[in-house]
Chain A
Amino acid sequence: MRFSREHVRLFLLGVIFFIILVLILNIAKPVRYFLAIVSFFIVFTISFVFITKLIQKYDLIIRGSGKSYDWRISFVVPVYNERENLRKCIDAILNIDYPKDKYEIVIVDDGSTDITTKKILEEYRNNPHIKIINKQNGGAASAKNVGIHKSTGDIIITIDSDSIIDRDAPARLASYFQDPLVGGVSGSVRVISTGKALNRWQSIEYDIILVYRRILEAFDSVYVTPGGLSAFRKEAIQRVGLFDVNSLTEDQEIAMNLQKHGYKVLASLDAFAYTEVPENLSSLIKQRVRWIRGGIWNRIKHQDLLDLKWGNLFVFGYLLDVLFFIPFSTFFLSLILFLIDHRLWIFRLGLDLLDLIVDHFLVSTFIFWIILLPWQIHMINILRNKANENPVKPLEILDFIGFMILFGWAWFLVWPFVIHKELTQAQNRWETR
């Protein structure tokens, strides 16, 4: 049986029903606790699976990339109303450490309506390294596809127009393609710092994801090649049918597709690009809604990955993502309800603070958080070391605590928006952040 959009709608209605049951009627306490414990085990087992793998293959995971200048590279930059960020993006590419005669920049203007963007593009029109292509608006994936079609390189590096590539990144990414089976390599996309809490938390998240992705490579299961910076073998990407123009997260879809066609997808830890991230809650929610919806639809499209024959990719790229959200949300919900419940008691009783964490389940959770904190810091330090930055300072630990307790666990808050968007079938294909 193949899943269809109707199935997803029914599933989402089921989710709504479930949430109403748990939240409003509050009669399903045993169910809630059961799901919370199940998800507790899923969430933390996965964390420890990553830690175990990191310990097992530490040297391999943290080793840096080599550099290769052998390939002809085409940078494909899809653009839509990007304004000033675009200039920084193009200038950074023009400044890379790579032979000038071995790369080109293909900028695809996907029907921008903004005058500033058009003016900036005009400034670069006569640059011999740059091709500017104008097309009707059709979304990021279609812009990338047009760019690939017009490119002449053996390696395609896709980069969002709000990302700034590091000088060494292209040579590092190119080095992975010595292996003829490699179809794609994800770049190391980091956050441009603005100092705000939301920005700092996303920065931690992005950095942790980079190390996670590198560990996923050790599991042969990298299932995202981020739009911010990724490299592809042109022949491979053409063979799998280019980017899916109907996908909301085409950067994930392509990674799954490549692997289904027998190509390896790798992850670099030191081919950096720096990108802007949502600066307020509403744009963050919008971005996460798109990620989740895109993720759901990619799983539906590639439901044949739901098979043990895909090994770890089936577990990480499919099973966990499918299993993750509802139990994960339930776990978070249970914690919130538990804390609210206890807060009432605390206000009422003036009991010791320790009473707050006396519940056995919660004690275990706190132990995990305490164990995971140094592990998260260690991961960030690996990254910062590669980027020649200072290690985490003591005060920054507060950011980690905020990230782990508030940001990392708040994904479930996005679900009502996901459900709303999905039920209203809203399209939002042109968002890179």
Chain B
Amino acid sequence: MKEIDKLVFFTGFVFVITIFLAGVAIGWGYSKMLSERTTNEINDLSSKIGLLQAVLERDDQEFCRIFNYLFPRLEESSWRLGERIEYLESQGRIDKDLKNLYLEYLYRDYLLLQTAIDRCNYTSEYIIYFYYNNATDPCEKCYYQGFEISEARSRLRDMGIKLRVYSFDGKLEGLGRYLSETYNITTYPTIIYRGKKYGYLDAGAIVRMIENELRG
């Protein structure tokens, strides 16, 4: 009777387990690093928004001038940050604290924009997008809605229209839930544009909706 070389197979398996675990450790370490970097970026953007708020409290006229200068410059980094958060979320590599931190920043940004629209006649096209991300009860349409909004945003940019997107996880404990209740959100995804609520919209529909509004 022939034998199976068990020791060699066992050794091979131990090698594989070791390398697999090393891979997991590296991946975990990188996730942590990415998460820390994201936290720093949020803090950086938050401090700039904080600066605008401080100016607002002191002097209305100065606020409008500084807002007009600073706010559009924050737009790209804010967008990239949003995408990164969404990406980390899709990979299940984001903790609640980080997400809340981001949500707070986003909400402050949103409130500031509202103030600027009211007081400085600032014009900006924006949508509020409610989604949720739950591993046990995933919102598949939200996943695709994210892609569609991205696509719509880049098409609008090609047309010279800058679209701001405020993405809120409506089921996130704390601010997320508060906002979804404030806006009376019952289904996901929901897009709010100029006070009107819409369900899932593909990129073409978003572009048409905004174009039509702008044409008046």
Chain A residues engaging chain B, CB cutoff 8 angstroms = 40-41, 44-53, 56, 219-220, 308-315, 344-345, 348-351, 354-355, 358-368, 371
Q: Are B27 and A363 in contact (CB-based, < 8 A)?
A: yes
Contacts of A52 in B (CB 8 A): 8, 11-12, 15
Contacts of B158 in A (CB 8 A): none
Asked if B159 lies at the interface with its beta carbon under 8 angstroms from chain A, I say no
Asked if B111 is at the interface (CB within 8 A of a chain A CB), the reply is no
CA distance A408 to B31 in the complex (A): 30
**Contacts A/B (CB < 8 Å), 12 sampled:** A48-B11, A48-B15, A49-B9, A310-B2, A312-B4, A313-B2, A360-B24, A360-B27, A362-B23, A364-B23, A364-B24, A364-B27
Query: Is B205 located at the chain interface by the 8 A CB criterion?
Result: no
Contact between chains at B19 and A367 (CB < 8 Å):
yes
A382 CB to closest chain B CB, in angstroms? 19
Task: Write out the residue numbers on chain A whose beta carbons fall within 8 Å of the beta carbon of B5.
Answer: 53, 219, 311-312
User: Is the CB–CB distance between B80 and A348 below 8 Å?
Assistant: no
Are B34 and A48 in touch, CB under 8 angstroms?
no
Instruction: Report chain B residues within 8 Å CB of A350.
Output: 80
Flag if B2 contacts A312 (CB, 8 Å).
Answer: yes
Residues on A with C-beta less than 8 A from B8 are: 49, 52-53, 56
Across-interface contacts of B23 in A (CB, < 8 A)? 360-367
CB closest residue in chain A, given B150: A348
Contact of A363 among B4, B24, B80 (CB under 8 A): B24
Q: What separation, in Å, do the CA atoms of A309 and B1 have in the docked complex?
A: 5
Cβ of A310: which chain B residues have Cβ within 8 Å of it? 2
* Nearest chain A CB to B28 CB, angstrom units: 7
B124 to chain A minimum Cβ distance, whole angstroms, is 22
Choice from A47, A351, A364, A366 contacting B84 with Cβ under 8 Å? A351
Residue from B12, B22, B24, B93 having most chain A Cβ neighbours under 10 A? B12
Q: Kindly state the separation between the CA atoms of A362 and B4 in the bound complex, as whole angstroms.
A: 31
- Chain B positions 17-37 with a Cβ under 8 Å from a chain A Cβ: 19-20, 22-24, 26-28, 30-31, 34
A215-B76 Cα distance, complex, nearest whole Å: 57
Closest to B3 in A: A311
Q: Is the CB of B28 within 8 A of A360?
A: yes
Secondary structure of the B contact surface, majority rule: helix
Q: Are B12 and A48 in contact (CB under 8 A)?
A: yes
In the complex, residue of chain A having the shortest beta-carbon distance to the beta carbon of B26: A363
Cα A164 to Cα B164 in complex, Å, equals 69
Given that A312-B2, A358-B91 are known contacts, is A41 also in contact with B27, CB under 8 Å in the complex? Answer: no
Question: Apart from A41-B16, A367-B22, what 12 extra A-B contacts exist at CB < 8 Å?
Answer: A51-B12, A312-B2, A314-B2, A349-B83, A354-B30, A358-B31, A360-B26, A360-B27, A363-B23, A363-B24, A364-B19, A364-B22
Inter-chain contact B2/A349, CB cutoff 8 Å: no
Contact of B122 with A by CB under 8 A: no
Interface size, B (range): 20 to 34
**Which residues of chain B are near A360, meaning CB under 8 Å?**
23-24, 26-28
**Distance A45 CA – B147 CA, assembled complex (angstroms):** 39
Give the shortest distance, in Å, between B153 (CB) and chain A (any CB).
10
In the assembled complex, the Cα of A358 lies from the Cα of B91 at a distance in Å of 10
Q: Is A41 a contact of B13 with CB atoms below 8 Å?
A: yes
- Report the bound CA distance from A44 to B21 in whole Å: 13
Determine if B183 is an interface residue (Cβ-Cβ < 8 Å). Answer: no
Chain B residues with CB under 8 A of A48: 11-13, 15-16
Partner of A348 from the list B12, B20, B26, B147 (CB cut-off 8 Å) is: B147
A-B contact count (CB 8 A): 107
For the complex, give the distance between the alpha carbons of A350 and B19 in Å.
29
B37 to chain A: closest residue by CB:
A352
Complex interface: chain B residues within 8 A of A368 (CB): 19
Is there a chain A Cβ closer than 8 Å to B178's Cβ? no
| B87, CB-defined interface residue at 8 Å | yes
Interface centre among A45, A311, A362, A366 (most CB of B within 10 A): A45
Q: Do B2 and A311 touch across chains, with their CB atoms under 8 A apart?
A: yes
**Are A309 and B13 in contact, with the CB atoms below 8 A?**
no
Would A351 and B87 count as touching, CB distance under 8 A? yes
Given the complex, which residues of A lie within 8 Å of B4, measured CB to CB? 308, 311-312, 314-315
B103 CB to nearest A CB, Å: 19
Residue numbers in A under 8 Å from B22 (CB-CB): 364, 367
What chain A residues lie within 8 Å of B90 (beta carbons)? Answer: 345
CA distance A51 to B13 in the complex (A): 12
Chain B hits for A47, CB < 8 A: 12
Cβ contacts under 8 Å, A311 to chain B: 1-5
What CA separation (Å) do A349 and B38 show in the bound complex? 14
B24 with A45: CB separation less than 8 A: no
Contact of B9 among A45, A313, A355, A364 (CB under 8 A): A45
Residues of B within 8 A of A308 (CB): 4
Are A345 and B2 also in contact (CB < 8 A) when A360-B23, A367-B22 are?
no
Question: Could you tell me the distance in whole angstroms from the C-beta of B96 to the nearest C-beta in chain A?
Answer: 20
A354: nearest residue on chain B (CB-CB)? B30
A220 to B83, alpha carbons, bound, how many Å? Answer: 55
CA distance A47 to B8 in the complex (A): 11
Query: Measured between C-beta atoms, what is the minimum distance from A212 to chain B in Å?
Result: 14
Q: Which residue of B lies closest to A221 (CB)?
A: B2
In the bound assembly, the distance between CA atoms of A57 and B163 in angstroms comes to 66
Chain A residues contacting B19 (CB-CB under 8 Å) are 44, 364, 367-368, 371
